[in-house]
A and B are shown apart, each in its own frame.
Chain A
Amino acid sequence: MQVFAFYLFAAIVIASGAFTILSRNPVHSVLWLILAFFNAAGLMVLVGAEFIAMLLVIVYVGAVAVLFLFVVMMLDIDFAELRAGFAKNLPLGVALALVFLAELVFGIGAWQAGGLDMAESGVSPGREGVSNIQAVGELLYSRYVFLFEAAGVILLVAMVGAILLTHRQRLGVRPQNVARQVSRRPEEAVRNTNPETGKGVSL
């Protein structure tokens, strides 16, 4: 049952990953990417990391991919231009792919040759009776607390930077004052007049 589920999820991840780069329409690409994320979460559940799986769905599928989709849907895409770009960037892409392949081969080769001992370098099996969330929390807030806090600060700085770059104070606009809008009463906004014919009302 587990083996069947593993091969099902893994096959879907690989297939949807392939379709992500193969499909012509960028919106379809993003949707395939979402399917890949979702099935990756399924794989996480299979290895017993249900907390990471749920976070993967909440963060990547629920938030990041929605923003991707949001942006990609509003793009005005010229397919001919895309294809010209493909030919131009092909050598760079192939070079990157070769680097990744070499790293994978060396990494797995070193592991196969027995040069690495995974068990002693901090990767330990889960303890009995301790849930995933508890284990992650204990580790994150004790041993890795400074790294965790540093990651938070970096994200904050990135956010402040992004706001600073895009925010500009424009003069001559009249922003809404919601408190004033809400507190506005009919007495101060409406005036009953009875103008004479042909005279009109001065505002």
Chain B
Amino acid sequence: MEGVVEIKVPEIEGLYETFAEMTVHCVEAGTHS
């Protein structure tokens, strides 16, 4: 559409799996990555 550019995000293999590998994502628990 004129005046609008969709920002394409790169595809990175294996990035999603880091969600599953990490735990609670809590700074207080020291698991914040």
Binding partners A and B: no
